[in-house]
Amino acid sequence: MLCDSAESISDGKLNIYGAGWSVVSSPTPPCSVVIKLEVPWTMRNVPLRLALDLVDADGRKLGGVTGENDGVNPVPTAVPGVPLDSSLVVPVPSFPLAPGRYAWQLEINTEVPDGGYLGFTVR
């Protein structure tokens, strides 16, 4: 989700502000990309490599960020067998883009998951 700003708080919860837009002008305003994952119980404590790339309408990567975590650790109240909530907020600074269609593409362990594209338009 694209939003003006957000913060990840306890237990995978998010506080999201100014969410739901998909059209911006250039230079783009500072914003955040919010990623909400449901991690299968069988993948708890398994390290994840995440990449968030900005791609143009032709799929060319224009930039991005990568990171790794030590896996999603179950909270004490987690129910065995139930997927674990995990969230990530990626702040994005203002930058110029030519008018057109773009997307943020998420990769988890080098694979793009279902719903791993977040499109937006620069007017």
Q: Which helix (H) or strand (E) holds 28?
A: none
Residues 6+ apart with CB under 8 A from 43: 71, 72
Chain segment 72-88, per-residue pLDDT in tens: 887 778 889 999 888 88
Q: Give me the domain span that covers residue 42.
A: 2-122
Written as one letter, the residue type at 114 is: D
Bridge partners (DSSP) listed for residue 104:
54, 118
* Separation CA 123–CA 120 (nearest Å): 10
pTM of the shown model: 0.87
Picking from 18, 39, 14, the residue whose alpha carbon sits closest to that of residue 30 is 18
Chain segment 35-69, per-residue pLDDT in tens: 988 889 998 889 999 999 999 999 999 999 999 88
pLDDT given for residue 11 in this prediction: 67
For the beta carbon of residue 32, count every other beta carbon within 10 angstroms.
22
Q: What is the largest CA-CA distance in the chain?
A: 48
Q: Residue 85 maps to which CATH number?
A: 2.60.40
Q: What three-state secondary structure class fits 103?
A: strand
Number of domains in the chain: 1
